[in-house]
Amino acid sequence: MSSPVLSLTWHLARSSGRRGLQSQLLAAVVAAVSTFVLLLMIAASLGSGDRADRTAWRTPHAVPAKAATAIQALTTTYVRHEPVTVVSLAQLPGREATPAPPGLSAFPEQGEVYLSPALVELVRELPADQLADRLPGPARGSYGTIGVAGLASPDELVAVVGRVPTDPAVSTAAEGGNFYDEGQTERATIATFSSPKPSLFTGLDQQMAVLGVVLLVMPVIVLGSAAGRLGAARRELRLAALRLAGATPRQIIAMTAAEAAAVGAAGALTGALAYGALLPALAEIPYGIGAWYTWQLWVGLPWLAAVVLAVTALITVSAVTMLHRVATSPLGVAQQANPRRTRMIRLVLFVAVLGYVTFSTQGSQLGTRQLVALLALFYGAFWLFGPWVVDRLGRIAGRFARRPATLLAARRLSDDPSGAWRTVSGLVLAGFVAGFFSVSQLSFGFPDQPGQVAVVTGDSAAAQRAAAEARTLLREAGVTATVTVPSEDDFHNPLHGSPGLIARVTGGQDQIDTAVTALTPLTAGRLPYTQDYPNAMDNVVTDRLGMVSTATLAMSFLIAAASAGLTAAANVLDRRRVYNLLRLTGTPLKVLDRARVRETALPLAVLAGGTTTMGVYGAYQLNKAADSTMNTSGALQLAACVTIGTLAMLTAISASKPLLRKVTAEPTQTAN
């Protein structure tokens, strides 16, 4: 005999009416948003790794001199503060032919110059004395083009120059020497382009993206869990009636799982389709070195299927976990008895977790995995602690309430603390992200000394000779500058103790770029550079952290507001009978709406403040581990984030007021 579970589930879903359909549509929307955000986060992480791999060929991978077939030199110059990577290649005579580098059809001959499409456009846009004259080779407009295989982004500025082995650009002078040369100026004998070392400008992208994923994954899980609990009260009453009519606990669970899985799968597939359709638009969002190639953000069918299944499973499990009371006490559910109290064990476990985290961060340097684990523990601790705090807040507020709206809100908080916690949990966890990123701006670079152009020489005597020539070159280029040869004991300039000269340029960025171009003939293997060069690593870290923090904060608050708004709308539908009974007793609609808002505002004020404080503490530990100073200016950013997030959540909750008005419009007909 076939099981009646599926047919009964389908019948109940069809007969649930408009209110049931609204709950199912809300759940499907939540599932779609959760799937879309998860796929976007995974795409950013995987795409960043792919981009890093595609830049590794530019870093010379040394082989023994006998096995070498060519010389490769990497140097970096800057124009308008943007890095331009210049790869010089020279075929060694009498050796086997060297394979073509990625993006080129053949190994470049002497004098051949290949540019990335973005660099071609920039060369044509700027005057020759600001950029084009730094590059050797053909007249402007006759450059070769580096193909997609050699680029990580359509916005990259890359040049490949063919040279002879005796060219100074590939001599031992191009090896660099200072610690900030690594990744920007390197030279080696090579046989292939198989370096495992990514570019300085892409090497940290994936780590930063993963950090954003870790900080966002819990709010997304919260949002996905909310989908499974939408319409929970109405579902409990319906299933409790079936349980009293003779349905077994297994049948009740199977019916709930089937309905939740169908709704979750429909929403998850919709989110996956939206992700695929929006890939071209998503690829235009810059990160790190620039925009993406569309295929870099495609996660592939296995990841796509895994996310759809994971979201569907999350929604299904979330719905099924609500059935414990239905299975064990259907009569209590039908009578809406036994409020869902929380136990003191939550506080004990929270204190234990918090003590462990505090102890783990004392007197030790934290690695990336340890920091990620601590962030996860913070999330878990507050997720465990939140319902307990909400329960106690409800009891305290109910004891001291002086207004009807406050009393109603307090009773709802103490009757269903877990449900109230789920409404505010998104912003509470987003508050942790805001607190963390607002003060975790790391700084390792040199003091800001704008307008300086540095030229490295072999020794102090060579620096003195080059200084006289530099004055002539700058004067002929129309650049007003003061040329000096600093002491090698002076570390407060871009040379940082290396022998060379400094040109202090006046007149703005155009004059600085012109000065770099004018001084290029003085260099042998290392192009003149500005302060962007020694500060490159610091700039990369702060730029990526800033991008990830901005994106994470925006998405966290968006997810939190969406979660709160959808949960508030679902609560209106679930409590329709209660609201109508209150209206029949004469309770004004304004009081009911105020109670809904206060039901959110009370736990939000206490818990969001707590997690924001923990975020600040986590950032302090990160800065301490990195031996960096705290970003005091982040206080304004933190205040703005918390304010905007709170207003967004309250606005989302207020958006369901028309629904409240509609479901209570005719209480005499709907109270039963």
Question: Residue 422 falls within a domain, yes or no?
Answer: yes
Other beta carbons less than 10 A from residue 105's beta carbon: 8
The torsion angles phi and psi of 593, rounded to 5 degrees, stand at -70, -40
Q: Given this model, what pLDDT does residue 1 score? A: 40
Q: Does residue 632 sit within a domain?
A: yes
Regarding whether 130 and 52 lie in a shared domain, the answer is: no
Mean pLDDT by 10 residues, the chain (672 residues): 56 58 76 90 92 92 90 92 93 91 92 92 91 74 86 94 90 76 87 89 86 78 72 59 62 74 89 94 91 93 94 84 56 49 78 75 59 70 81 86 85 80 72 68 58 85 87 90 83 78 88 91 82 84 78 76 76 76 83 84 79 73 61 65 76 81 67 44
Flag whether 361 is in a domain. no
pLDDT of 443 reads 53
For residue 84, the cross-strand partners are: 77
Question: Quick one: DSSP state of residue 71?
Answer: E
Asked if residue 332 and residue 257 are part of one domain, the reply reads: yes
> Do 548 and 630 reside in the same domain of the chain?
yes
Q: Are residues 107 and 254 in the same domain?
A: no
What is the pLDDT, as a whole number, of residue 102?
Answer: 93
Side-chain-facing half-sphere of 183: CA atoms under 13 Å? 20
Nearest in space to 592 (alpha carbons), one of 654, 647, 651, 652: 654
Q: Would strands 113-115 and 144-145 be described as parallel, antiparallel, or unpaired?
A: parallel
Q: What is the CA radius of gyration of the chain?
A: 32
Give the CATH number of the domain where residue 486 resides. 3.30.70
Residue 294 and residue 395 share a domain: no
Choosing from 273, 304, 338, the residue where a domain stops is 338
**302 and 402 belong to one structural domain:** no
Residues 235 and 313 in one domain: yes
Same domain as 413, residue 556: yes
By the 8 A CB rule, do 255 and 9 touch?
A: yes
Contact 661, 593 (CB under 8 A): no
- 352 within a domain of the structure (yes/no): no
* Model pLDDT, residue 599: 83
CA atoms within 13 Å, Cβ hemisphere of 597: 18
| 654 inside domain | yes
Q: Are residues 569 and 519 in the same domain?
A: no
Q: Specify the pLDDT at position 335.
A: 47
**Same domain as 218, residue 124:** no
222 in a domain, yes or no? Answer: yes
Q: Is residue 278 part of a domain?
A: yes
Domain-terminating residue out of 499, 533, 567: 533
What pLDDT does residue 104 have? Answer: 93
Note whether 52 and 65 are same-domain residues: no
Q: CA–CA separation, 365 vs 372, rounded Å?
A: 14
* pTM across the whole model: 0.79
Distance of CA 286 to the CA centre of its chain: 12
Structural domains in the chain (count): 4
The amino acid at residue 18 is: R
Q: Is 285 part of a structural domain of the chain?
A: yes
Give the domain extent around 488. Answer: 452-533
Q: Is 42 in the same domain as 65?
A: no
Residue where a domain terminates, one of 533, 563, 597: 533
